[in-house]
Amino acid sequence: MTLEEFFALPDDDGMERILIRGRLLEKPATKRNRWNSSCEAAIARLIGNWVVSQPKPRGKVFSGEAGFILRGTPGTSVGIDVAYASHEIVSRSDTTTRMIDGPPVLAVEILSPNDSQEEIITKVSEYLDVGVALVWIVEPMFQTVTVYRPNERPTLFSGSDVLTGTDQMPGFQITVNQIFED
């Protein structure tokens, strides 16, 4: 399927769709729960606090299944729960574009009960393949974050473990507990 065909699909039919290398993956839309919503809000706020402390021009934080076009042919377009995109990527899109054209620096996926392991592995692999520097898989029920980086083994973080932005988000650091605080 091409990006054009993908974008022509209806948005409001109760289906959640992503396009990975021209292959359409769809499932019933995720019913958000308070734990996922709380994690998403906290992560967006924590990254946003760091973003506003950066000199201009600076990148931007997105949340709520923000649409990203990760590759053109074969097409990959996904919705990401929370993402941080560099100024260079954000500036590629004008106000008439509904999706961000290019990979974010950080992609955060918050697990839902209906997420399959195959779907998560597919997304993480595609994110790393197109140049996403950091991928976080957040597990709300166990209050953990698994961090994926290109050419490295995944690392599991919990409790007071510190998540950093490494070289791509200099100075960014939070503890896993901050994501799950009430």
Considering only the C-alpha atoms of the chain, give the largest distance between any 2 of them, rounded to a whole number of Å. Answer: 45
Is it the case that residue 90 has pLDDT exceeding 80? Answer: yes
d(CA 83, CA 165): 12
**pLDDT tens digits for range 98-134:** 789 999 999 999 998 888 899 899 999 999 999 999 9
Is it the case that residue 31 has pLDDT exceeding 70? Answer: no
Phi, psi for 83 (deg, rounded to 5): -145, 150
Q: Is the pTM of this model over 0.95?
A: no
**What mean pLDDT value characterizes the chain?**
90
Is it the case that residue 32 has pLDDT exceeding 70? Answer: no
Q: Is the pLDDT higher at 166 or at 158?
A: 158
Is 84:47 a contact under the CB 8 Å cutoff?
Answer: yes
